[in-house]
Structure 1
Amino acid sequence: MLKPTFTAPDLTTFTGLDGLGLRAVGQSLTPDRAIISCTVTEPDDWCHRCGCPGIPRDTLVRRLAHQPLGWRPTTLHVRVRRYRCTECGHVWRQDMSTAAEPRAKLSRTGLRWALEGIVCQHLTVARVAESLAVSWDTANTAVIAEGRRVLIAKPDRFDGVQVIGVDEHVWRHTRKGDKYVTVIIDLTPARDKTGTARLLDMVEGRSKAVFTAWLQARPQAWRDNVEVVAMDGFTGFKTAAETELPDAIEVMDPFHVTQLSGDALDRTRQRIQQETTGHRGRSGDPLYGIRRTLHTGDNLLTDKQRTRLMVAFTDERHAEVEATWCVYQEVIAAYRHPDPAEGKRIMTRLIANISKGVPKALREVITLGRTLKRRAGDILAYFDHPGTSNGPTEAINGRLEHLRGSALGFRNLANYVARSLLEAGGFRPQLHPEIG
């Protein structure tokens, strides 16, 4: 603004009190804190019981943590007048519901700021509590309660879900209790390229029964609307999806298929390493030196890497490693092919080739072939629904790992689920004007 129009200072508007039904009447500023003295604008001097007029009795001060001004903790000292009815003697105080919930320690504006800080800015609860000059428990309780009320508990949160992803997640690394939870992700925005995947829910445990119970808790219309379920190789999730979502298509995502192939390659390399040298890989061993290069796609190999592979494969004792490496490269080639139909043909041919007639020496390839044949329908379904994978699910798992690290771990699963939903549920508080 090149030519601003200046008016007299308005502390009420500047601090956002006009939307709370308050009026600023004074201030006290120190380097580490701001205190705003204010009054309630509406007199509220009619008896709430009989409707007769009341007379002022006394005044009390209610303290509320407010949105920080320049990261300086700001506290509202609200002077609340109490009245006594001239007829029935009933005593009441001015209505402050516009400014804060009953018995709350945060103003509605301060609560909105805290929730936006947690959801949008990914602040820790400790940082929010410090900025509001309240205890950690006060900030955490207020944020989670408000988040549940206006975000997590919204009835339309599950609307429009057509593609879901399911995976397990380790929420704590202790021996006490179940450390696993099942996470359910909405992959519809990622498939339709309308946004990012979002966390739908998190349930304690990892089993067929857990996922089945969660699906059964959803309305039948919602289940009928689900078209695709992306998952890893765990058969419990597949069985639950087949039972509760009979019309949905199960897709085993590329990440886990490639991981299975990579694991077979690693086990082959380790076995041949022991058979040829009598010890685990060491610096200078040919197979140990190419352990990472083996997992690089053939079209991404540099000349130096390709030369190292060829040198290792010239040793006849490493023939089994080379054969398994070729299988791994075929899996990568199928998923990286720009034409899904051709990728499907490559994968179909590969599954047929390693499902039977494989030399007994390639024991890891035989095991891989059995697994791929058993899940062939789920694996090939990916090529009919390109873009549907558990990749976004793994990305959200990474965000939850970061959340747990920022909080230095969680002990309460209910708090962890609520914080995870606020962190990765795709919420944007600024789009919800009812917050605060």
Structure 2
Amino acid sequence: MRATTLLNRVLNLTGVRVVDVDPGAGGPLLVRVALKARKRLDCPHCSYSTMAGYDTRWAESTWRHLDFSGRVLVLTMLRRRLVCPSHGVVVQGVPFARPGSRFSTEFEDMTAWLVTRADKTTVSQFARIAWRTVGAICERVVAEQLDESRFEGLVNIGVDEISWRKHHRYLTLVSDHATSKIVWGAPGKNAATLDGFFKEIGPVNTTAIEAVSMDMGPAFAKSVTTNAPGAVICYDPFHVIQLATNALEAFRRSIWQRTRELPDQDIAKKFKGTRWVLLKNPQNLTEKQQVTLAGLERTGGLLWDAYQLKESLREVFAGDLNPDDVMEMITTWCDLAANSNIREFARAAATIRSHTQGIHAAVTRKLSNGRHEGLNNKIRTMTRRSYGFHTPEAALALIMLACGPVEIKLPYQT
């Protein structure tokens, strides 16, 4: 059997045939291919095709393909130029690679699948490409597979921001509560960023949105009120509890700072070592932490009162209570916090009072950003595993691959 016949059957490339093979001397395996039908020239960016070429010159192009028997396989092909009414003079497209790419579609699909499951070093060494190139591949795969249909049927959505790089580099992400998938993302975390989401989905899909869950920051609420006035704003119970948790931590730190000035430094060390004891849920404490918490209970004082305030607010949302009963308990909690002589909890109570309508809507509709926070944890894991990203577009591409509606299969996978 001829080598070209063997490779035609093994590679099974779409729309082309193998015409020559250069095994080389230890370098890449060069496989020359040609289109099965040469009569028409296709624009790589749209569906336009023509029989007329721009000139008579031929240009040789190369694409990295899946490795063959442990060796790098490179596809080569002579291509002509054409004039597209929309994109001008372009080199004809090929059926086995995406526009502007120097990798075959199968190679890019393999890399995109691998990058959602492995760390940076593994992907770079396995595919034998630079990490920056991996980001560009992810962007092309996502751009091809994401379509506008993901915005259809959105009813309840969640909005949250996440840091994609240090020094306050953030992404705003929108998730669908029905599918628990990220459907949209953009750099930034202000109202203008979320305005872009409503502009992209259009007025018809915006009108269909009934509720939006979010944190208690003013930016996202402003955008929703402006662009989707018919949607109900639901303030996520997780962030309500987080207010009390942050208040407790701030109060503990203030006590620790004051005790550091005392001659007896053992007192300061005692309060410093109680951070995780106070912040963790009681059922998650270790035996040593339970002993420390019991000591705080015996000592009493404002720090123990602050801990009880935090736990009592958490218990309000832990049970399956009637929404009206929940709101009544929240009102009682705000009264206790305001009169607790703890400034941090008084501020938290004031914030909760000003957002009671949105909290009631979240409790009534049973909407929370819990699943979105779970996706955020997954994204943070990928970010650490990837050692960061060079651009927000690369970070968004990986997020859509791992947490979005894009489904990547390995080449030849059924």
TM-score, normalised on structure 1? 0.72
User: How far off its partner does 1:66 sit?
Assistant: 1.2
- Report sequence identity in percent: 19
Q: Secondary structure at the match of 2:360?
A: helix
Instruction: Provide the C-alpha distance between the structure 2 equivalents of 1:36 and 1:179, rounded to a whole number of angstroms.
Output: 44
> For each residue in 1:371-426, what CA deviation from the matched residue of structure 2 results, as whole angstroms up to 9, or x when unmatched?
2211122223333233x322333333334434444554334334443444334323
Instruction: Provide the C-alpha distance between the structure 2 equivalents of 1:24 and 1:268, rounded to a whole number of angstroms.
Output: 75
Task: List aligned pairs for 1:53-132, cutoff 5 A.
Answer: 62-69=61-68, 72-78=71-77, 97-100=94-97, 104-118=101-115, 121=117, 124=120
What is the aligned counterpart of 1:248 among 231, 234, 248? 231
Instruction: Provide the C-alpha distance between the structure 1 equivalents of 2:233 and 2:222, rounded to a whole number of angstroms.
Output: 10
Q: Against the structure 1 CA distance between its residues 77 and 216, is the aligned structure 2 distance closer, same or farther, given a 3 Å change threshold? A: closer
Q: Against the structure 1 CA distance between its residues 432 and 238, is the aligned structure 2 distance closer, same or farther, given a 3 Å change threshold? A: farther
User: How far off its partner does 1:71 sit?
Assistant: 5.5
> For each residue in 1:18-60, what CA deviation from the matched residue of structure 2 results, as whole angstroms up to 9, or x when unmatched?
x33213654627777434355544465999459xxxxxx9998
> For each residue in 1:127-165, what CA deviation from the matched residue of structure 2 results, as whole angstroms up to 9, or x when unmatched?
6676666676666545523431x223x121222222222
What is the aligned counterpart of 2:23 among 25, 28, 41? 28
Instruction: Provide the C-alpha distance between the structure 2 equivalents of 1:432 and 1:220, rounded to a whole number of angstroms.
Output: 38
- Letter of the 1:368 partner, please give it: A
The alignment status of 1:145 with 2:136, answered yes or no, reads no
Q: Against the structure 1 CA distance between its residues 221 and 134, is the aligned structure 2 distance closer, same or farther, given a 3 Å change threshold? A: same
- Give the match for residue 221 of structure 1: 204
The alignment status of 1:293 with 2:272, answered yes or no, reads no
Q: Against the structure 1 CA distance between its residues 66 and 251, is the aligned structure 2 distance closer, same or farther, given a 3 Å change threshold? A: same
Which residues of structure 2 form unaligned runs of 5+? Answer: 42-49, 81-91
Q: Against the structure 1 CA distance between its residues 398 and 324, is the aligned structure 2 distance closer, same or farther, given a 3 Å change threshold? A: same
User: How far off its partner does 1:168 sit?
Assistant: 2.2
- Give the match for residue 183 of structure 2: 200
- Give the match for residue 390 of structure 1: 369
Bigger radius of gyration among the two: 1
> For each residue in 1:176-213, what CA deviation from the matched residue of structure 2 results, as whole angstroms up to 9, or x when unmatched?
xx733322222321xxxxxxx22222233322333234
User: How far off its partner does 1:231 sit?
Assistant: 1.0
Q: Against the structure 1 CA distance between its residues 423 and 101, is the aligned structure 2 distance closer, same or farther, given a 3 Å change threshold? A: closer
Q: Against the structure 1 CA distance between its residues 282 and 208, is the aligned structure 2 distance closer, same or farther, given a 3 Å change threshold? A: farther
Whether the 8 Å CA contact 1:25–1:39 is kept in 2: the answer is no
- Give the match for residue 245 of structure 2: 262
Task: List aligned pairs for 1:328-339, cutoff 5 A.
Answer: 328-337=310-319, 339=320
Task: List aligned pairs for 1:299-310, cutoff 5 A.
Answer: 305-310=289-294
Instruction: Provide the C-alpha distance between the structure 1 equivalents of 2:183 and 2:151, rounded to a whole number of angstroms.
Output: 7
What is the aligned counterpart of 1:180 among 162, 170, 175? 170
Instruction: Provide the C-alpha distance between the structure 1 equivalents of 2:40 and 2:205, rounded to a whole number of angstroms.
Output: 50
Instruction: Provide the C-alpha distance between the structure 2 equivalents of 1:276 and 1:128, rounded to a whole number of angstroms.
Output: 50
Q: Against the structure 1 CA distance between its residues 217 and 139, is the aligned structure 2 distance closer, same or farther, given a 3 Å change threshold? A: closer
User: How far off its partner does 1:326 sit?
Assistant: 1.6
- Give the match for residue 359 of structure 2: 379
User: How far off its partner does 1:369 sit?
Assistant: 1.5
What is the aligned counterpart of 1:413 among 363, 388, 392? 392
Instruction: Provide the C-alpha distance between the structure 2 equivalents of 1:123 and 1:22, rounded to a whole number of angstroms.
Output: 35
Instruction: Provide the C-alpha distance between the structure 1 equivalents of 2:135 and 2:291, rounded to a whole number of angstroms.
Output: 57
Q: Against the structure 1 CA distance between its residues 157 and 69, is the aligned structure 2 distance closer, same or farther, given a 3 Å change threshold? A: farther
Q: Against the structure 1 CA distance between its residues 22 and 101, is the aligned structure 2 distance closer, same or farther, given a 3 Å change threshold? A: farther
- Give the match for residue 192 of structure 2: 209
Q: Secondary structure at the match of 2:182?
A: strand
Whether the 8 Å CA contact 1:167–1:232 is kept in 2: the answer is yes
Whether the 8 Å CA contact 2:28–2:72 is kept in 1: the answer is yes
Instruction: Provide the C-alpha distance between the structure 1 equivalents of 2:244 and 2:36, rounded to a whole number of angstroms.
Output: 70
Q: Against the structure 1 CA distance between its residues 349 and 400, is the aligned structure 2 distance closer, same or farther, given a 3 Å change threshold? A: closer
- Give the match for residue 16 of structure 1: 12
Whether the 8 Å CA contact 1:65–1:134 is kept in 2: the answer is no
Whether the 8 Å CA contact 1:185–1:201 is kept in 2: the answer is yes
User: How far off its partner does 1:250 sit?
Assistant: 1.9
Whether the 8 Å CA contact 2:181–2:403 is kept in 1: the answer is yes
> For each residue in 1:320-362, what CA deviation from the matched residue of structure 2 results, as whole angstroms up to 9, or x when unmatched?
222222211112212222x242x76255324334336843623
User: How far off its partner does 1:281 sit?
Assistant: 7.7
Instruction: Provide the C-alpha distance between the structure 1 equivalents of 2:286 and 2:324, rounded to a whole number of angstroms.
Output: 27
- Letter of the 2:232 partner, please give it: I
Whether the 8 Å CA contact 1:163–1:187 is kept in 2: the answer is yes
Q: Against the structure 1 CA distance between its residues 164 and 70, is the aligned structure 2 distance closer, same or farther, given a 3 Å change threshold? A: farther
What is the aligned counterpart of 1:427 among 386, 406, 410? 406
Q: Secondary structure at the match of 1:64?
A: strand
Instruction: Provide the C-alpha distance between the structure 2 equivalents of 1:271 and 1:364, rounded to a whole number of angstroms.
Output: 10
Q: Secondary structure at the match of 1:182?
A: strand
User: How far off its partner does 1:258 sit?
Assistant: 1.8
Whether the 8 Å CA contact 1:273–1:281 is kept in 2: the answer is no
RMSD, aligned CA: 4.2
Which residues of structure 1 form unaligned runs of 5+? Answer: 1-8, 51-56, 83-94, 190-196
What is the aligned counterpart of 2:307 among 325, 337, 361? 325
Q: Secondary structure at the match of 2:192?
A: helix
Aligned residues: 387
- Letter of the 2:166 partner, please give it: H
Whether the 8 Å CA contact 2:334–2:349 is kept in 1: the answer is yes
User: How far off its partner does 1:108 sit?
Assistant: 3.7
Whether the 8 Å CA contact 1:228–1:250 is kept in 2: the answer is yes
